[in-house]
Amino acid sequence: MNKSDKILLKALKFFADNTRTKVNLAKEEDKINYNSYVSDDSERTLQKQGYIQPNGKTRYIITDKGREELRKLEQIFLKDKTFYIAIAGLIISIVSFLKVYDYFDLINFIKNIFIKG
Concatenate the DSSP letters of all residues of 90-112 into one string.
HHHHHHHHHHHTTHHHHHHHHHH
Summarised one tens digit per residue, pLDDT across range 6-30 is: 999 999 999 999 999 999 999 999 8
Mean pLDDT of 24-50: 93
d(CA 30, CA 105): 60
pTM of structure: 0.77
Cα angle, residue 4 at apex, residues 7 and 68 outer, rounded to 5°:
70
Summarised one tens digit per residue, pLDDT across range 52-110 is: 998 888 999 999 999 999 999 999 999 999 999 999 999 898 878 777 766 667 677 67
Quote the pLDDT of residue 104. Answer: 67
Write down the domain spans for the chain.
Answer: 3-116
Residue with more model confidence, 114 or 67 = 67
